[in-house]
């Protein structure tokens, strides 16, 4: 496999959710000799406007932030039945980064109100009604460790802080300054991953042990890349242009190209998600 040469200009960070005409695609995936084989592509959003931030709630269903007649709401798509539905009751704001509680069917999402207020909400799976999870916290992005502990990035002027939220005690502790937006639960471990802006203005990826709260450096993300996803407990995937690149923590310390979306007519890969069984990949991209 060829080594990756990154020729990207670092983009200025923005905490306004971009309203591009992005789509959410799902592929079946499996290991291949050249890296990763992508099969059976499906456009599950197929919708004008902003469709982004996918999250698998099971191996056969996922949710994402979708354009609902000009408003961003939580959309759920079932890969077996091919049915889509809107999950939350409509609010005055937009719902972003939807995720499922680890041990509940309830969802959480960042709500961006028209007046600029940005908060983390819980959405009842039976009624669709919502309630604020933690008061007075300007959450930008988040990821669950369990039902009580959430790793988040919180707006702090022109940057973001890495903040650990404990819902049982209703506390929020700042761990680091100048964090990136990609937060992940590392599969089959007691760790979370996060990124911090380094002295060169790029993002370094770290792992946080949720028992000891000690952090460990993993690698530097490719220049200009803000999002990553764990395929398993050792392999990390990023998207750049129409290519996918992998870093194996047990292999050589380098990013290698493992797949291309060019044949599917896609470009500008950004956010991704992996199904719990590791057999499906959701990709946010733009049609060429």
Predicted local distance difference test score (pLDDT) of residue 235? 96
Predicted local distance difference test score (pLDDT) of residue 251? 92
Percentage, residues of the chain above pLDDT 70 = 93
Q: Which residue has the higher pLDDT, 68 or 34?
A: 68
Predicted local distance difference test score (pLDDT) of residue 3? 38
Predicted local distance difference test score (pLDDT) of residue 14? 37
Predicted local distance difference test score (pLDDT) of residue 11? 30
d(CA 71, CA 113): 11
Predicted local distance difference test score (pLDDT) of residue 166? 98
Stretch 133-142: mean pLDDT = 96
CA dihedral of 87, 269, 151, 153, whole degrees rounded to 10: -100
The helix or strand, by DSSP H or E, that contains position 122, with its residue range, turns out to be strand 118-123
Evaluate if residue 147 carries a pLDDT over 80.
yes
Strands 139-144 and 149-156: antiparallel
User: Can you give the pTM of this predicted structure?
Assistant: 0.92
Q: Which residues contact 155 (CB under 8 A, 6 or more apart)?
A: 15, 118, 138, 139, 140
Mind listing the pLDDT tens digit for each residue in 214-229? 999 999 999 999 999 9
Mind listing the pLDDT tens digit for each residue in 79-127? 999 999 999 998 889 999 999 999 999 999 999 998 889 999 999 999 9
Query: In sequence order, which ranges of the chain are alpha helices (DSSP H)?
Result: none
Closest CA to 155 of 194, 98, 117: 117
**For the sheet containing 229-230, what is the strand order?**
229-230, 235-240, 243-248, 256-260
Q: How confident is the model at residue 266 (pLDDT cuts 50, 70, 90)?
A: very high
Average pLDDT, the chain: 92
Contacts 24+ apart (CB under 8 A), 189-192: 189/233, 192/143, 192/145, 192/151
Q: Which residues contact 105 (CB under 8 A, 6 or more apart)?
A: 125
């Amino acid at each position: 496999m060829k080594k990756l040469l990154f020729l990207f200009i670092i983009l200025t960070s923005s905490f306004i959710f971009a309203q591009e005409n992005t789509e959410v695609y799902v592929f079946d995936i499996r290991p291949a000799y050249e890296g990763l084989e992508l099969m059976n592509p499906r456009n599950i959003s197929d919708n004008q406007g902003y469709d982004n931030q996918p999250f698998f709630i099971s191996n056969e269903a996922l949710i994402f932030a979708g354009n609902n007649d000009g408003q961003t709401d939580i959309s759920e798509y079932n890969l077996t039945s091919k049915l889509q539905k809107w999950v939350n009751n409509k609010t005055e704001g937009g719902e972003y980064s939807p995720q499922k509680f680890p041990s509940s069917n309830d969802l959480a999402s960042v709500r961006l109100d028209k007046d600029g207020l940005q908060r983390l909400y819980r959405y009842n799976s039976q009624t669709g009604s919502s309630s604020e999870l933690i008061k007075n916290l300007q959450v930008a992005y988040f990821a669950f460790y369990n039902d009580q502990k959430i790793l988040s990035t919180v707006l702090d002027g022109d940057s973001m802080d890495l903040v650990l939220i404990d819902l049982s005690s209703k506390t929020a502790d700042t761990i680091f300054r100048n964090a990136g937006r990609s937060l992940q639960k590392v599969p089959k471990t007691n760790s979370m991953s996060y990124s911090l802006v380094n002295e060169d203005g790029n993002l370094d990826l770290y792992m946080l042990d949720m028992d000891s709260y000690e952090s460990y450096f993993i690698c530097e993300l490719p220049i200009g890349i803000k999002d990553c996803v764990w395929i398993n407990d050792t392999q990390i995937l990023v998207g750049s242009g129409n290519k996918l690149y992998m870093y194996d923590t047990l292999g050589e310390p380098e990013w290698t190209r493992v797949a291309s979306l060019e044949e599917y007519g896609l470009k500008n890969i950004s956010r991704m998600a992996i199904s719990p069984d590791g057999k499906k990949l959701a990709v946010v991209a733009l049609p060429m």
